Amino acid sequence: MTTTVLLFGQLQEITSKHELQVNEMADTHTLLAELSRMYPAIATAKYMIAVDKQIISGNTKLKDGSTVALLPPFSGG
Amino acid sequence: MTTTVLLFGQLQEITSKHELQVNEMADTHTLLAELSRMYPAIATAKYMIAVDKQIISGNTKLKDGSTVALLPPFSGG
Amino acid sequence: MSKERILKNIFVKGAIGAAFVGESIQKHSAQTSIGAHSIFLGQVRADLMDEKKVSAIEYTSYEPMALEKMHEIRAFIFAKYELTCMHVYHSLGKVNAGEISLFVFTSSAHRRAAIEACSETVELIKKELPVWGKEIFEDSSHQWKTNT
Amino acid sequence: MSKERILKNIFVKGAIGAAFVGESIQKHSAQTSIGAHSIFLGQVRADLMDEKKVSAIEYTSYEPMALEKMHEIRAFIFAKYELTCMHVYHSLGKVNAGEISLFVFTSSAHRRAAIEACSETVELIKKELPVWGKEIFEDSSHQWKTNT
């Protein structure tokens, strides 16, 4: 199974990536551990997580084709 | 001594007058009694009183040249 | 010089144009300490009363007193809120249904001051300014507007 | 048809012009049940930080999520207040200091609904929309904006 990860704001800057694909991630905790390994700065960054555009809290199971977005604090307006 | 009386809104309509001069009115109570005699509809109308542009409550002494305005409920905006 | 002469005028003859609102906003682009504008516009409603429709409101005022009162309101609002500027315009004479008769415009570095100042100014204008609106129906009859 | 396709777009490229605000107001003159408009405008401030001045903010968004969220905010506000209509525009890309990046416009028969709906919508937009502002300084360095 494949998960699409979207990175915004500071996180996009830190990773120099807006979008990446990762495979075989069963849940968001596993995914975040992997992302923090790939980009250590993510481990200390402040962000919320949206799975398929819904903000989640706690560990969440991922389906094949899910999109996980890492959202730094909003600053619109 | 002379007092100028200004009438606005409904009161101007009732009396068909915007401005009138009255003489020898010592205070607002005397003035209102005289106005109500001249225009009986004033006796039952709802209004506030301003003496020289300041809203007053209760009987107020008048000076020569004072302007007394009878102000129906405001409805600006 | 009389006291009235130095008071800022707020009254305009007839309706306030939408383009005038746009131009007023544009004038603030050089003031780069502003972060928030709050604008209130009062528009004349074509209310239906006893099957008669309001076609216009005709506004009159005790102008010298209204301008003094507006001066007080302005001073009170500037003392209470951190504002950059405030502009107020009120129509006199006839304003047709769908047209604008009141324009209150406050600006501040931050949104809360601008929003609260605008809202409170509108309330004070409605409550304290000696202005009267005569609602004119399509058949030319009329009744006096009441504020809530 | 995907869900996104039916969601109302709120994003505009670059600054929101003052004339556009004027035109938006003008469009409401045919709606004679409206008695009050409330407008909020967010303007980019030339803030000074460590002796460097902000010259612009560059906005990005997670657009599909932002439009869904705005749809929810709109439904919530319409359920809570007696509104005639609501319009929201937010800039994406670069907006210079002094220019407008957010335009919220609510209309109602009566002022309180329009004013409160506008104010609450602004708060929800700031808090819940996935939008990010990058403050660009005159020397081209930058920092990420934070909302208060």
pLDDT in tens, A54-69: 999 999 999 999 999 9
CB nearest C68 (choices: B53, B72, B76): B53
Q: Residue A68 in contact with residue D92, Cβ under 8 Å?
A: no
Mean pLDDT of all residues in D17-35? 98
Asked whether residue C131 carries a pLDDT value surpassing 70, the answer given is: yes
Chain length of chain B:
77
How are the residues of chain B apportioned to helix, strand and coil, as percentages rounded to the nearest 5?
30, 30, 40
pLDDT digits (tens, 9 = 90+) for B37-74: 999 999 999 999 999 999 999 999 999 999 999 999 99
Whether residue C1 is predicted with pLDDT greater than 80 in this model: the reply is no
Give me the mean pLDDT over the D138-147 stretch.
Answer: 94
Residue ranges of domains in chain B, CATH in brackets: 2-71 (3.10.20.30)
- Tell if the CB–CB gap between C125 and B9 is shorter than 8 Å: no
pLDDT given for residue C147 in this prediction: 87
- Residue of chain B with shortest Cα separation from C40: B77
Distance separating alpha carbons of residues D95 and D43, to the nearest angstrom: 9
Cβ contact (<8 Å) for A53 and D132?
no
Average pLDDT over residues D70-93: 98
CB pairs under 8 A between C and D: 122
- CA C39 centroid distance within chain: 10
Rounded mean pLDDT, D7-22: 97
pLDDT in tens, C72-82: 999 999 999 99
Residue D1 in this model has a pLDDT that exceeds 50: no
Q: Which residues have C-beta within 8 Å of that of residue D141, sequence separation ≥ 6?
A: D52
| Cβ distance of D26 and C40 shorter than 8 Å | no
* ipTM score above 0.85: yes
Per the rule left: phi > 0, alpha: psi between -120 and 50, beta: everything else, D93 is left
pLDDT at residue D147, as a whole number: 87
CA D37-D38-D39 angle, 5° bins: 120
Residue C80: how many other CB atoms lie within 10 Å: 12
The CATH code for residues C11-26+37-144 is: 3.90.1170.40
pLDDT of res. C68: 97
Distance CA A64, CA A52 (A): 11
Name the pairing type of β-strands B67-71 and B2-7: parallel
Contacts of C81 (CB under 8 A, 6+ apart): C106, C108, C113, C114, C116, C117
The stretch C25-50 carries a mean pLDDT of 97
Q: Mapping DSSP to helix (H, G, I), strand (E, B) and coil, where does residue C56 land?
A: strand
pLDDT at A65: 96
Query: Which of D98, D101, D123, D93 is closest to D42 using CA atoms?
Result: D101
From residue C13, give the alpha-carbon distance in Å to each of B11, C91, C148, D13, D30: 23, 6, 24, 38, 21
Sheet strands (E) in B1-77: 2-7, 19-23, 48-51, 54-56, 67-71
Cβ-based contacts of A14 with chain D (< 8 Å): none
- With contacts defined as CB-CB under 8 Å, which chain D residues touch A77? 42, 90, 101-102, 122, 125-126, 131, 133, 147
- Give yes or no for residue A14 having a pLDDT over 50: yes
Which residue in chain D is spatially nearest to C41 when comparing CA positions? D37
Asked if residues A22 and A31 have their Cβ atoms less than 8 Å apart, the reply is yes
Q: What is the mean pLDDT of residues C5-12?
A: 89
Percentage of chain C beyond pLDDT 70 is 97
Whole-number average pLDDT of chain C? 95
CA distance D32 to D30: 6
Query: CA C95, CA C103: separation in Å to the nearest integer?
Result: 13
pLDDT of D5 over the 70 cut: no
Other chains touching D, judged by 3 or more CB pairs under 8 Å: A, C
B46–C contact, CB cutoff 8 A:
no
In this complex, whether C and B touch, counting 3 or more CB pairs under 8 angstroms, is yes
CA C133 to chain D, closest CA, distance in angstroms equals 14
Whole-number Å distance between alpha carbons of D86 and D66:
17
Show which subunits contact A, needing at least 3 CB pairs below 8 angstroms. Answer: D
Nearest to D107 by CA among D44, D30, D55: D30
Spatial strand order of the sheet with B48-51 comes to B19-23, B2-7, B67-71, B48-51, B54-56
Over range D143-147, report the average pLDDT: 92
| Spatial CA neighbour of A39 closest among D63, A47, A73 | A47
